[in-house]
Structure 1
Amino acid sequence: MNFEEIYKNVPKPHIPEKLPVELSAALYDCEIIKLISKANNAMGAYRGFLLNTINPMLLIAPLMSQEAVLSSKLEGTHATIEDFINYDAGNEVAVSKDEMQEIMNYRTALFYALDKMSTISDESEEGRHKLPLSVRLIKEMHKILLDNVRGKTKSPGEFKSEQNYIGNSNKITFTPLPPELTLDYMANLEKYIHHEEVDLLVQAALLHCQFEMIHPFKDGNGRIGRLLIPLFLYYRDMLPVPTFYMSAYFEKDRNMYLEKLSAVSKDNDYAAWIKYFLEGVIEQAEINTMKAKKMLGMYNDFKELCISEMSSKYAIMLLDEIFKKPMFKAKQVQDIIPGSKGTLYNMLDEFVEKGILRKDEKVRNTTYYCPAILTLL
């Protein structure tokens, strides 16, 4: 099929309503009312677990890596969580380095935003974020996302200056907002982040949907749009850390995801999108809570072993690093764990002996890994 045939029936650019949209019809839907209640209960249970955990980021770190893989997979990468963990440990993988770097960049962008938005803890500023979730921060995240990967030539950190399209090599299915309207609509999106909507989860649904309709960048829109969900829930204090991810739900049936977004652009059917999104929130909140509880149980069991049976006072410090990086080489933790090389290798041997870690057969540059964490992922 030639270029002219592909572009012959290109849809006109979609110009969505600005936010907030009229929701009265959707909110009279009994199913949506029930889903709002159920989704908030599921998120409440997840939030409660995170609040009652001493270091929730430690337990969620492996799930953040999983999210980075799944979100990138939606954009055409083929890497698995096993590939990523091996690559992160410095091992060779069959997938291209460019794909692996895209996943690394996704995780880096999330941590960057978290650092910029982290709450100030001194008494005079208690509960305030350093920086708001804003257009400026979104652009900075986008710049990180496309750093030194296949989208590096597509204006990292800058809004599109030419019309972009969504589709495949045979057909264009959607034409996003024209570039000349992008700045105005992104300013409206930023304002909506601080709007008092009827429900925060409904607001998260509309925020993600609107970002996809705008498609403000030349590349990387899907990944930034998915990152906005946990960052928004964190910024609006629904979650104590930005560790709630929807990529697994969207990836499970990508056609359904696109169909529900299409219902908004074609028929202004926000109710169908909100239902779909809330069902995903319920599913992912329950899965996240289950996995995080298993992580906590695993961590506590290992910690008890460290206290009662390990000889080094730095054993728990090494355990924490294992949860952040469940596959690694000794040199990757050498500067983090105090003491000599000998102390570290003795600890690693003890961790292998107790079954917390296993190692490959290499005499030099040995790879250590935690099978229990990898199995859960």
Structure 2
Amino acid sequence: MQEPFKAKNIEAAFESIDKTTFFDELVDSVSRLKVYGAVLQRSIARESCMTSMYVKEGVYSSRMEGTKSSLESSLEKVALEDESDKDVNEVRNYAAATRYGREYLIRVGEFSEEMLLEMHRILLSGNVHKTTDQVGCYRTEQNFIQNEKSKEVTFVPPEAKYVKPLMDNLIAFMNKPESSERNLVNVAVIHEQFETIHPFADGNGRVGRMLIPLFLFKEREIERPWLFLSEAIGKEKFRYYKMLNDVRTNNAWNEWIKFFLGIVDKQCVKYEQNVLKIEELYKVCLKKLSDISSSRLLKQVFECFFKTPILNSRKIERETGLSNTSVNRMLDKLVENNIVFADSKKRGNVYYFYDLIELL
């Protein structure tokens, strides 16, 4: 097996960075991020769709680690509070850990070891796939990364004894980035450094991807930590892994940063378009609702589907405080008018808002 990698503190990376090699990508991604942020800030999707977006990010991030759940099945089982499926539990935990990180930064204002360890504990809690009992703590043994198919070892992270000092250095940098680079460059370096340290026995990829929007949120580059990159990264998964490895073997920081900025640009374009389409869908549906009924209860029940597009009546009752009778009467109206669709069960129907699912 290879020797464990001898990682340097994060500041050493900036000695090798030449921004002229990725200047165009940096300009494009910075401007695209600002446009996406502005569109999101004034949109109905700013709050209403974020539960679903957290689930979607969890699906794509967990899929990179080998889980096979789809967005629709994950949304369905989250709605039904079904905890029997390990893949879906991983998705649910991913969303919960990301929300915890956001709430921690709002409350405390900076990253800490406590925050990262708790995010890890949440991610691997309960009935999920995991390869270790070391949950909510840094690893104490050597780990390694191997090719999924050939099982060839492709990277051996630093020895366990170096994990805490390297993570202390990384956390200090995340709290006070001592570099002259833009924060999109800083976060590209932060992500690579975290994945190189590989501080946990399991779950490193997912925690590392959570830290991207959380860092940009802390630095006020985005109003909320809703820059979800796992979908775009997953489409170029093997390129992503090779770019990370090339930094370790060839000091290829500029190539990695250029790739990372391209991912940010692509995903901002996609989400900007999605937000605008979701806004338009909301307006069309409100017009349809007003033609059906003037009841505020109908709008109240319908808006629950903009938070989670797959629901049952019990969850809507809890969300709205309405009676079972009122909720079911409004659901019947939504079904009759082909806005949401019910499954074929006689009792305990699950309702699907397919128009929104298609846009997520």
With structure 2 as the length reference, what TM-score do the two structures score?
0.93
Which aligned pairs between 1:126-275 and structure 2 lie closer than 5 A? 130-148=108-126, 149-151=128-130, 153-168=132-147, 170-193=151-174, 194-197=176-179, 198-275=181-258
Which aligned pairs between 1:6-17 and structure 2 lie closer than 5 A? 10-17=1-8
- Letter of the aligned partner of 2:340 in structure 1? L
1:20 alignment counterpart: 11
Q: Give the SS at the match of 2:351.
A: strand
Give per-residue Cα distances to partners, 1:195-232, cap 9 Å, x unaligned: 14310100110010000000000000000000000111
- Identity percentage of aligned residues: 28
Q: CA deviation at 1:114?
A: 1.8
Q: Are positions 1:362 and 2:341 aligned together?
A: no
Which aligned pairs between 1:262-301 and structure 2 lie closer than 5 A? 262-301=245-284
Cα distance in 2 between the residues matched to 1:88 and 1:157: 24
- Letter of the aligned partner of 1:18 in structure 2? N
Moved more, 12-21 or 141-150: 12-21
1:332 alignment counterpart: 315
Cα distance in 2 between the residues matched to 1:308 and 1:152: 54
Moved more, 305-314 or 133-142: 305-314
Q: Give the SS at the match of 1:173.
A: strand
Q: CA deviation at 1:160?
A: 0.4
Is contact 1:59–1:292 with CA below 8 Å preserved after alignment?
Answer: no
- Select which of 51, 59, 66 maps to 2:56: 66
Q: CA deviation at 1:268?
A: 1.0
Moved more, 241-250 or 293-302: 293-302
Which aligned pairs between 1:300-339 and structure 2 lie closer than 5 A? 300-307=283-290, 309-339=292-322
2:71 alignment counterpart: 81
Cα distance in 2 between the residues matched to 1:318 and 1:224: 35
Q: CA deviation at 1:324?
A: 1.7
Kindly tell me: are residues 56 and 92 of structure 1, through their superposed partners in 2, closer, same or farther at Cα, counting changes over 3 Å? closer
Kindly tell me: are residues 353 and 130 of structure 1, through their superposed partners in 2, closer, same or farther at Cα, counting changes over 3 Å? farther
Is contact 2:13–2:189 with CA below 8 Å preserved after alignment?
Answer: no
Q: Give the SS at the match of 2:138.
A: coil
- Select which of 88, 96, 99 maps to 1:108: 96
Kindly tell me: are residues 250 and 302 of structure 1, through their superposed partners in 2, closer, same or farther at Cα, counting changes over 3 Å? same
- Select which of 27, 36, 48 maps to 1:46: 36
User: Gaps spanning 5+ residues in structure 1: where?
Assistant: 1-9, 119-128
Q: Give the SS at the match of 1:160.
A: coil
Q: Over aligned residue pairs, what C-alpha RMSD do you find?
A: 2.0
Q: CA deviation at 1:339?
A: 3.0
Q: CA deviation at 1:15?
A: 1.9
User: Gaps spanning 5+ residues in structure 2: where?
Assistant: none
- Letter of the aligned partner of 1:138 in structure 2? L
Is contact 1:312–1:347 with CA below 8 Å preserved after alignment?
Answer: no
Q: Give the SS at the match of 2:319.
A: coil
Cα distance in 1 between the residues matched to 2:169 and 2:14: 17
Kindly tell me: are residues 18 and 24 of structure 1, through their superposed partners in 2, closer, same or farther at Cα, counting changes over 3 Å? closer
Which aligned pairs between 1:23-38 and structure 2 lie closer than 5 A? 23=14, 26-29=17-20, 31-38=21-28
Cα distance in 1 between the residues matched to 2:13 and 2:56: 36
With structure 1 as the length reference, what TM-score do the two structures score?
0.89
Give per-residue Cα distances to partners, 1:89-144, cap 9 Å, x unaligned: 32989xx71111111100111111222223xxxxxxxxxx5342222211110000
Is contact 2:309–2:357 with CA below 8 Å preserved after alignment?
Answer: yes
- Letter of the aligned partner of 2:283 in structure 1? N
1:122 alignment counterpart: none
Moved more, 61-70 or 140-149: 61-70
Cα distance in 2 between the residues matched to 1:162 and 1:140: 20
Kindly tell me: are residues 339 and 332 of structure 1, through their superposed partners in 2, closer, same or farther at Cα, counting changes over 3 Å? closer
